[in-house]
Structure 1
Amino acid sequence: MCGICGIYNAQSGEPASPQLIEQMTGLIAHRGPDDQGVYTDGPLGLGFARLSIIDLSGGHQPMCNETGDIWIVFNGEIWNYKALRKELIEKGHQFRTHCDTETIIHAYEEYGLDCVARLHGMFGFAIWDAPRKRLLLARDKAGKKPLYYTRVNGNFAFASEIKGLLAYPGIKREADIQAMADFLSIRYVPGPATLFAGIYKLLPGHWLLFENGNVHEECYWDYTFGPTEHRPLEEYIQGIQQHVKRSVEERMMADVPVGAMLSGGVDSSIIAGIMSKLTSHKVKTFSVGFDHPEYSELPYARMVAEHFGTDHYELLVQSSDMVKYWPLLTWHRDEPVSEPSDLGVYLVSKLAREHVKVVLSGEGGDELFAGYPKYVVDWIANYYHILPASIRDGMLMPMIEHLPYSMRKLKMAARNMSQPAPQRWMSWFGIFNGPLKDELLTDTVKARIDLDSSRAFQRWLENNPQRDDLSAMLYLDTKIWLPDNLLMKGDKMTMAASLEARIPLLDYKLIEYAASIPSSLKIRSFKAKYMLKRAFADFLPEPILTRKKMGFNVPTGIWFREGQRRIITQLLLSERTRSRGYFNDAYIARMVHDHLEGRTNYQAQLFTLASLELWFRVFIDNPQPVIPQQSVEELLADEKPVVSSL
């Protein structure tokens, strides 16, 4: 795993500065502390920071072909590179190294732009084709690896992380107001936008060509939930088992030690178990818990570790860790920390890095096999609409509204059942939507934006309609929720610790296979993730299969009321925060007061707003992009006391 960056001064023609490339590379050096490289060719410059995983002695980048006129910087791993290498050698290509990077160069020489679709792996790369004077960027099918780009006065720049772009002259560090409003709704910014005005993500499964001053972007891979053939249940089970085992085995390829992240949930337990069966030595597994037992999954992780005989490590995260690391997490995320679970992922990654260089992680199982409770509730919504309005509105809704806070997701789902599907689905992970968003934003901001943040959801479905509501939800989550939030978190937090994370359950062949399974087999008897659990029912401990889904919850609501009262108040109610002019200050003050007094639970809303404010302080307020060394307390030390009745 690595960090890449580059510039192409196509408009100005100014020679690329090696010093500038070094500065851009330095800002993402945590992604690759083992080696760095710079290449310039007139107005073109490429930078590279390497984390050595395969062919440790070779693989220096930027790398070129035999004639020195095609260059590449590559972040990721290609699982089928040996087969591609053999194919290309048979066509007459000559190799100087044993790394997967060189395979991409020769594949480009042989197949041109079509080479990208032939790559099976996780990646973000850039190829400079000097004879054609064109720059090609590409991102893997599922969007496991990030890649950002921007244009400044006709020139072009790209990097693995946004911070790498901020050193480029002429970049304006300004918030995209529409993107900020979308972030407030769903806790992340749907691609291709970012929270920085003028900086964009390359979408998953897409390549981008910058040539003759123009940008052309194209989708090279997609999948669909088309018509299904109803096969015997056992045939689907065997198919799932075979695809998952193959995917895990492929991702154990490395010339360095490989471990596993183990939450104690179904997905990570399957991966750790398969790894244990595929190797003769004990697999190292890593888990994280929290200082409030009801939020900790450590007992389940220990159960799995004991069941498969892994060499198990774990740590406990406390409130003081959030205070210490929150600004640093913001820096590594590039955008606001959308969920407090980033803290746990970062700290367990640091722990893992002490023992291994690569880990396998369990993201994707919920989105492929319908593992979230929202899928079950939305499935029930189909029956809800059959009921007469007198029963729905006169009996059920009043009963649902009186349910306790612990059943808030059911209440939210019921309130949104009458909405169009994209708005209903978006609300599941929503923070500020509808009346909350309307009351939060000032009239000035609302006049500049589209309040409906379901645009990205609707756009994907308009271009790619799916066979039923469940399939549409799963498709959207793999196209938006995963690459723009969960995978982004996984990449940024592991790479912050110079650790490579691999995601077996998001193997593109497994994605396509899961899409072929009828929706009626994914949810049965109100049970989510039915098929994946059936496929590994004889493999995992029974309590892992039957336990209630926890997710990666963090006790921020408790922390805010206890040791972080002053911090959350200072972040949200200070004069500096209020001077930004985006929000209704009185409304935020009421939220803070009601939460701290225990009248209601606004932990998600307060965390989202506080993370946004920290992002402004880390990236927008500072004249230069500088990694924050301070804790939240130290960052606020010079802040004037909040004048408030709180």
Structure 2
Amino acid sequence: MCGICGIYNARSGEPVSTATIDTMIRLIAHRGPDDRGVHLAGPLGLGFARLSIIDLSGGHQPMCNETGDVWIVFNGEIWNYKELRKELQERGHIFQTNSDTETIVHAYEEYGVDCIARLHGMFGLALWDGPRHRLLLARDKAGKKPLYYTNLNGNIIFGSEIKAVLGHPQVKREVDVQAMADFLSVRYVPAPATLFKNIAKIKPGHWILFENGQMREECYWDFSFKATEQRPMADYVAGIKQHVQRAVEERMMADVPVGAMLSGGVDSSIIAGIMSRCTNQKVKTFSVGFDQPEYSELPYARMVANHFGTDHHELVVSSADLTQYWPLLTWHRDEPVSEPSDLGVYLISKLARQHVKVVLSGEGADELFAGYPKYVVDWMARYYHILPAALRDQAIQPLLERLPYSMRKLKIAARNLSQPAPQRWMNWFGIFNGPLKEQLLTPATKAMIDLDASREFQHWLLHNPQRDALSSMLYLDTKIWLPDNLLMKGDKMTMAASLESRIPMLDYKLIEYAASIPSQAKIKGLKTKYLLKQAFADFLPTEILTRKKMGFNVPTGIWFREGQRDLISNLLLSERTHSRGFFQRDYIQKIMQDHLAGKTNYQAQIFTLASLELWFRVFIDTPTLEMPQGSMETFLAEEQAIVSAH
């Protein structure tokens, strides 16, 4: 795992500055502390920071072919590189290293841009074809690794993280107001946009080619739920088990120690269990809990660790940790911290890095096998919409809105059921939508934007419509929610600790197989993730299979009412926040009062607004692009002094 960056002055033809490339590498050095490399050739500059995982002595980058006219910087791992290497050697290619990186260079020589579709792995890469004056940027099929770029008057600047792009002296740090409004709706920014004006991220399964002053984008891989296959349930179960087993075994490939993130949920428990059966050594597992016992999954994680005999490590996170690390998490995220769970992922990654360089984690299974409660509720929405509209709108909805605070999740479900798709699907994990967004934004802000944040949802379904509502939800979550939020969190928080994270459940063959299973086989009654649990029913402890899904919940609602009460209030109700002109101060004050009084649970809305304001202070307000130091209180005080001085 590494960090890559580069510049191609296609329009100006100016030589790339060594100092600029060095700055860009420095800003992402945490992604690769083991080695660094630079290649400069007139208008082209490539930079690289390496975390050595495979071929420790021979994988230095930037790397080129034998003649030195094709160069690559590559972040990630290619699981099928040995098969590709053998194929290419049979075609006459001569290899100098044992790295997967060199395989990509020769594959490009042999197959051109089509080589990207042959890569089975996780990656963000940049490939320079000197004779053709061609720059190719590509991202893996599922979008596990990020890659950003900007087109600056025909000159291309790119990097594994936005801050590398911002390291170029001509790239401005400006907010994209539409992207900000979308972030408020779904707590992330759907690709290709970012929160920075004129900086984009490459979509999963896409490549972009810059050649002869033109930019061409292509989706080289997609999947669909339309071509389902009716088979006995036992066949589905056997197929899932086979694919998951293979995916985990492939991702144990490394020349350094490999461990596992273990939450105590079904997905991470399956992965830790398979790993423990694939090695004679104890697998190192890592778990994080919280100082509020009802939010902590540590007892379940210990149960799994004992069941499989792993070498288990854990830590407990408190409110003080969020105060301490929130500015730093914002820096590493490049955008606002979308969820409080970023804190747990970052701290457990720091702990894991003391023992291993690589971890396997369980993201993706919920989106493939219908693991969230929203899938079951939405699956039943068809019965709700059979009811007469008058009964729904005049009787049921008002009754549900009067439910007490303790039944807030049912109220959220009721509100969503009344919405049309795809707005309904977008809103399941939404934050500020409908009336909440209308009341939050100032008239001037609303005049600048499209209030409906479901554009990318509609775009994906327009180009690849699915066979039913559940399939559409699973497809959209795999294409948007996962790469733009969960996978982004996993990449940024683990790489902040110089740790590589691998995700077996998002193996592209497993994705395609799951998509071939009909929707009615994935949900049984009110049971979520039914088939995956059946596949490993004889493998996991019964308590793990039957436990209620918790998700990675963080007790911010309690923290905001207690230890962080004044801090959050001072941040969101400050004159600086108000002076931005985006939000109605009276409305923010109202939702904070209602939350602190326990009338309504606005913890997600408050966290989102606080994260956004911190992002402004880390990236927009400050005159220099530097990692924030100290706690939230310290950072805010120091940052205020710096801004005042300028």
User: TM-score, normalized by length of structure 2?
Assistant: 0.98
SS at match of 2:315: strand
CA distance in structure 1 between the aligned counterparts of 2:239 and 2:12, rounded to whole angstroms: 54
Per-residue deviation, 1:17: 1.1
Runs of at least 5 residues in structure 1 that lack an aligned partner in the other structure: 642-646
Q: In the alignment, residue 296 of structure 2 is paired with which amino acid? A: S
Does 1:565 find its partner at 2:550?
no
Does 1:38 find its partner at 2:38?
yes
Question: Which structure 2 residues correspond to residues 362-401 of structure 1 after superposition, within 5 A?
Answer: 362-401=362-401
SS at match of 2:128: strand
- Greater mean alpha carbon deviation, residues 604-613 or residues 560-569: 560-569
SS at match of 1:107: helix
CA distance in structure 2 between the aligned counterparts of 1:314 and 1:334, rounded to whole angstroms: 27
Per-residue deviation, 1:19: 1.6
Does 1:263 find its partner at 2:263?
yes
- Are the equivalent residues in 2 in contact too, given 1:574–1:640 (CA < 8 A)? no
Per-residue deviation, 1:390: 4.9
Question: Which structure 2 residues correspond to residues 4-19 of structure 1 after superposition, within 5 A?
Answer: 4-19=4-19
1:385 and 1:620, CA in 2 relative to 1: closer, same or farther beyond 3 A?
same
- Greater mean alpha carbon deviation, residues 151-160 or residues 174-183: 151-160
SS at match of 2:156: strand
Question: Which structure 2 residues correspond to residues 14-25 of structure 1 after superposition, within 5 A?
Answer: 14-25=14-25
Corresponding residue for residue 326 of structure 1: 326
1:452 and 1:38, CA in 2 relative to 1: closer, same or farther beyond 3 A?
same
Deviations 1:103-126 (A, max 9, x none): 000000000010000000000000
Corresponding residue for residue 644 of structure 2: none
- Are the equivalent residues in 2 in contact too, given 1:73–1:125 (CA < 8 A)? yes
CA distance in structure 1 between the aligned counterparts of 2:172 and 2:316, rounded to whole angstroms: 40
Corresponding residue for residue 576 of structure 2: 576
Deviations 1:287-334 (A, max 9, x none): 000000011000000000000000000000011100000000000000
- Are the equivalent residues in 1 in contact too, given 2:6–2:157 (CA < 8 A)? yes
Corresponding residue for residue 239 of structure 1: 239
CA distance in structure 2 between the aligned counterparts of 1:443 and 1:41, rounded to whole angstroms: 50
Per-residue deviation, 1:391: 4.1
Corresponding residue for residue 54 of structure 2: 54
CA distance in structure 2 between the aligned counterparts of 1:225 and 1:639, rounded to whole angstroms: 50
CA distance in structure 2 between the aligned counterparts of 1:637 and 1:229, rounded to whole angstroms: 60
User: TM-score, normalized by length of structure 1?
Assistant: 0.98
- Greater mean alpha carbon deviation, residues 190-199 or residues 522-531: 522-531
CA distance in structure 2 between the aligned counterparts of 1:494 and 1:356, rounded to whole angstroms: 12
Corresponding residue for residue 535 of structure 1: 535
Corresponding residue for residue 435 of structure 1: 435
Corresponding residue for residue 102 of structure 2: 102
SS at match of 2:489: helix
Corresponding residue for residue 462 of structure 1: 462
Corresponding residue for residue 159 of structure 1: 159
SS at match of 1:531: helix
Per-residue deviation, 1:394: 4.8
Corresponding residue for residue 113 of structure 1: 113
SS at match of 2:380: helix
Q: In the alignment, residue 509 of structure 1 is paired with which amino acid? A: K
1:638 and 1:77, CA in 2 relative to 1: closer, same or farther beyond 3 A?
closer
SS at match of 1:549: coil
CA distance in structure 2 between the aligned counterparts of 1:308 and 1:26, rounded to whole angstroms: 41
- Are the equivalent residues in 1 in contact too, given 2:408–2:601 (CA < 8 A)? no
- Are the equivalent residues in 2 in contact too, given 1:409–1:428 (CA < 8 A)? no
CA distance in structure 2 between the aligned counterparts of 1:139 and 1:175, rounded to whole angstroms: 24
CA distance in structure 2 between the aligned counterparts of 1:394 and 1:455, rounded to whole angstroms: 30
Corresponding residue for residue 220 of structure 1: 220
Q: In the alignment, residue 53 of structure 2 is paired with which amino acid? A: I
1:639 and 1:54, CA in 2 relative to 1: closer, same or farther beyond 3 A?
closer
- Are the equivalent residues in 2 in contact too, given 1:561–1:596 (CA < 8 A)? yes
Per-residue deviation, 1:638: 6.2
Per-residue deviation, 1:601: 1.9
CA distance in structure 2 between the aligned counterparts of 1:127 and 1:461, rounded to whole angstroms: 31
Identity %: 77
CA distance in structure 1 between the aligned counterparts of 2:59 and 2:513, rounded to whole angstroms: 34
1:185 and 1:640, CA in 2 relative to 1: closer, same or farther beyond 3 A?
same
Per-residue deviation, 1:597: 2.9
Corresponding residue for residue 404 of structure 1: 404
Per-residue deviation, 1:401: 2.3
CA distance in structure 2 between the aligned counterparts of 1:625 and 1:51, rounded to whole angstroms: 23
Corresponding residue for residue 345 of structure 2: 345
Question: Which structure 2 residues correspond to residues 129-148 of structure 1 after superposition, within 5 A?
Answer: 129-148=129-148
Corresponding residue for residue 600 of structure 1: 600
- Are the equivalent residues in 1 in contact too, given 2:557–2:603 (CA < 8 A)? yes
CA distance in structure 1 between the aligned counterparts of 2:273 and 2:240, rounded to whole angstroms: 15
Q: In the alignment, residue 64 of structure 1 is paired with which amino acid? A: C
CA distance in structure 1 between the aligned counterparts of 2:221 and 2:555, rounded to whole angstroms: 39
Corresponding residue for residue 521 of structure 1: 521
- Greater mean alpha carbon deviation, residues 362-371 or residues 621-630: 621-630
Corresponding residue for residue 616 of structure 1: 616
SS at match of 1:138: strand
CA distance in structure 1 between the aligned counterparts of 2:227 and 2:325, rounded to whole angstroms: 48
1:638 and 1:309, CA in 2 relative to 1: closer, same or farther beyond 3 A?
closer
- Are the equivalent residues in 1 in contact too, given 2:185–2:433 (CA < 8 A)? yes
Corresponding residue for residue 545 of structure 1: 545
SS at match of 2:637: coil
SS at match of 2:493: helix
CA distance in structure 2 between the aligned counterparts of 1:473 and 1:404, rounded to whole angstroms: 29
Q: In the alignment, residue 554 of structure 2 is paired with which amino acid? A: V
Q: In the alignment, residue 505 of structure 1 is paired with which amino acid? A: M
Question: Which structure 2 residues correspond to residues 464-479 of structure 1 after superposition, within 5 A?
Answer: 464-479=464-479
CA distance in structure 1 between the aligned counterparts of 2:175 and 2:486, rounded to whole angstroms: 22
Q: In the alignment, residue 516 of structure 2 is paired with which amino acid? A: S
CA distance in structure 2 between the aligned counterparts of 1:198 and 1:16, rounded to whole angstroms: 21
CA distance in structure 1 between the aligned counterparts of 2:122 and 2:209, rounded to whole angstroms: 19
Corresponding residue for residue 294 of structure 1: 294
Deviations 1:38-80 (A, max 9, x none): 0011000000000000000111000000000000000000000
- Greater mean alpha carbon deviation, residues 362-371 or residues 213-222: 213-222
CA distance in structure 2 between the aligned counterparts of 1:331 and 1:439, rounded to whole angstroms: 29
SS at match of 1:170: coil
Question: Which structure 2 residues correspond to residues 443-458 of structure 1 after superposition, within 5 A?
Answer: 443-458=443-458
Corresponding residue for residue 644 of structure 1: none
- Are the equivalent residues in 2 in contact too, given 1:413–1:424 (CA < 8 A)? no
Per-residue deviation, 1:399: 3.6
Deviations 1:167-225 (A, max 9, x none): 11221110000000000011000000000000000000000101122211100000000
CA distance in structure 2 between the aligned counterparts of 1:381 and 1:491, rounded to whole angstroms: 34
Corresponding residue for residue 202 of structure 2: 202
- Are the equivalent residues in 1 in contact too, given 2:259–2:356 (CA < 8 A)? yes
CA distance in structure 2 between the aligned counterparts of 1:395 and 1:214, rounded to whole angstroms: 58
SS at match of 1:554: coil
Does 1:586 find its partner at 2:595?
no
SS at match of 2:222: coil
- Are the equivalent residues in 1 in contact too, given 2:617–2:639 (CA < 8 A)? no
Per-residue deviation, 1:607: 0.5
Per-residue deviation, 1:397: 2.7
| Count of equivalent residues | 641
- Are the equivalent residues in 2 in contact too, given 1:6–1:44 (CA < 8 A)? yes
1:46 and 1:563, CA in 2 relative to 1: closer, same or farther beyond 3 A?
same
1:366 and 1:406, CA in 2 relative to 1: closer, same or farther beyond 3 A?
farther
Corresponding residue for residue 123 of structure 1: 123
SS at match of 2:259: strand
SS at match of 1:39: strand
Runs of at least 5 residues in structure 2 that lack an aligned partner in the other structure: 642-646
CA distance in structure 2 between the aligned counterparts of 1:268 and 1:224, rounded to whole angstroms: 26
Per-residue deviation, 1:631: 1.1
Does 1:627 find its partner at 2:632?
no
- Are the equivalent residues in 2 in contact too, given 1:377–1:410 (CA < 8 A)? no
CA distance in structure 1 between the aligned counterparts of 2:606 and 2:164, rounded to whole angstroms: 29
